[in-house]
Structure 1
């Protein structure tokens, strides 16, 4: 543990006292603009809208709907009347491979949950009754080696059903709304208490040799306690996975036009010190219109993008310029072996590719990091060079500089100089390149932490 690391309790205390240096609440008007120079604008990465795919209720082997519904029925018998016995108990690894192969072929990236103690069946870092130890290990290996490169792995709390007493590892005996992760328990807990709970979940995934920079909340977890959730997430991720400077979490989604779905960068601290940090709320823009959380209600492609490519929620958000992050549940993608949700997803991707061409797929962590860099990189421009101070590194960091260039842009960082390559359009833009349109110079670089300069004349 390095000397700059704060205990969870001390971190929360210091965050509360940091005054104007800390961002609280969800009112975007409270967020300070980046320290932009006149005539310099930070664009989307590669000057393209980020797209991502959030998968909830996934884990190793276990169909969360089959094992979760009877626990929900016990608490709310009038609300959960699904016949869970008709559902398969397993979502097999063969389907994970099929899904992975399609996504790799189309460049799809996003977030994939691994529930640590799925519906209280067993522990992913030890054993799950009903499957052999070898089957569990092979399932985790599949995720670790072939999913994790393109997908953030998140715990979705501990069980996604009953609240776990982290002192004993057993569910609390009360089967009621206050002791279910989806509902009441989290709404009045301190940041410290939530952080301890999240750290417990993260440690299970760490024991399973999975890397995490964020968490996903099940159902209404923390919905009335968002600031403590944000602080608890930051402290827990940094405690379990030391070295993470930008933590993130998925809690909210907005499906109606007019509500911003841009990420919220919260609790930045030590931006000019040795240990800069922040946490980012990554926001979804769709409902689950694939196959539902229980795999019983098929969705519709047209809600995402219509057949004539002119309308739909994804079109609205992409055309607004904000990150377009679709949300689904794994049981609905598998849809009881019929794969109806998967087929809907494939058609959505096909239509998006027809309308927009190459899509800028990003993991949730990459979007979170980019927004942290976008909001907190300090920028100065004297007409000849752009000076950058970045507390957070970010790939494909893209700047628009309103100036007539004289020479080809030159990136100078950490004692090295790299001349950027000219491309003809933003479709060709990638790190280490630029294009020019009249007096609009667009430059894409891998932003390094610390100081760097762009020499343009």
Structure 2
């Protein structure tokens, strides 16, 4: 399962707050000591970070690799800067992950952007670049929820005629579309009602779109960090990249002379690029031309690399 899915803690219990000194819940069962209610309000970065690290360490002790966290209910909603920085601290300290991420927000209607947010970026051209990525859901929990309510069905995601629905809205405006669900709704007491909805959504999406890439949250976070933080300098027929993070399938589009051919260089080494006929055939190490535009897909390395265009 883990090669295709990221594993997150949704804090320690999702409800009762654990006293990190004793490993037991606090005696007060009120909302003030509930993870998904009020406990995080007013907490410092170090307090938030320590609590996240405690949750992450449980997964590490169980043998899981983890690069991010999911917040339960209202956790962190009133201390968003502290949540962001605390996630960065905790995931790096427990797992030494290069690009930590967290899932806190979802916007299931309207035009508000659901693109990932790269936060707290520092030291980008040092040996210790740091950032954290907020990944944002774009749908409601429409596959049965955490309490096995009746699923709302595939149409909320994409209609039967493939013309409408939240996923269509987000994909057609060019942003990553992150669906949200709970495993309880997917499994639905063994009836798998939510899973059937999900399967139908996936089938419809592939009927409507021919350019979909499925990514884990960690993969999306790394790509977005590279997209936002790689320094790109265009000098004549050369494009220079200074990347704080390596990133597979990094893709650029540039206007060039009609016969210009890209060459990819890392240091003194020239790496091969294969020409393909259209952008849907692009994989790492390939390029294609569309009129006076060239699109190149390559695994950008950490540090410096170059794309040069020769006639």
Q: Return the TM-score normalized by structure 2.
A: 0.97
Which residue is 1:209 aligned to?
Answer: 63
Distance 2:58 2:23 in 1: 11
**What SS class does the counterpart of residue 120 from structure 2 fall into?**
strand
CA shift for structure 1 position 405 = 5.0
1:350 paired with 2:203, answer yes
Aligned length: 310
**Which moved further from structure 2: 388-397 or 401-410?**
401-410
Match of 2:221 among 352, 362, 368: 368
Q: Check the 8 A contact 2:142/2:151 in 1, yes or no.
A: yes
Which residue is 1:159 aligned to?
Answer: 13
Q: Check the 8 A contact 1:404/1:438 in 2, yes or no.
A: no
CA shift for structure 1 position 178 = 0.9
Match of 2:276 among 396, 413, 423: 423
Q: In proportion to residue count, which structure has more helix?
A: 1
Distance 2:69 2:269 in 1: 37
Which residue is 1:5 aligned to?
Answer: none
1:241 paired with 2:241, answer no
**What SS class does the counterpart of residue 252 from structure 1 fall into?**
strand
CA shift for structure 1 position 406 = 3.7
- Structure 2, gaps ≥5 residues long: none
Deviations 1:191-212 (A, max 9, x none): 1000000000111111111111
Deviations 1:400-431 (A, max 9, x none): 01112544311111432112111111211111
Which residue is 2:32 aligned to?
Answer: 178
Match of 2:3 among 134, 149, 153: 149
CA shift for structure 1 position 181 = 0.7
CA shift for structure 1 position 256 = 1.3
Deviations 1:120-146 (A, max 9, x none): xxxxxxxxxxxxxxxxxxxxxxxxxxx
CA shift for structure 1 position 257 = 2.0
Deviations 1:307-359 (A, max 9, x none): 00000000000001010000001111111111110000000000001111352
Match of 1:316 among 165, 169, 194: 169
Map 1:201-350; keep pairs closer than 5 Å: 201-242=55-96, 244-350=97-203
Q: Check the 8 A contact 2:263/2:309 in 1, yes or no.
A: yes
Q: Check the 8 A contact 1:154/1:216 in 2, yes or no.
A: yes
Deviations 1:167-197 (A, max 9, x none): 1111111111111111100111101000000
CA shift for structure 1 position 434 = 0.7
- Structure 1, gaps ≥5 residues long: 1-146
1:409 paired with 2:262, answer yes
* Residue 226 to residue 241, structure 1, CA distance change in 2 (3 Å): same
**What SS class does the counterpart of residue 140 from structure 2 fall into?**
coil
Q: Higher relative CO (CA 8 A, sep ≥ 6), structure 1 or 2?
A: 1
Structure 1 residue ranges (4+ consecutive) displaced by more than 2 angstroms after TM superposition = 405-408
CA shift for structure 1 position 369 = 1.0
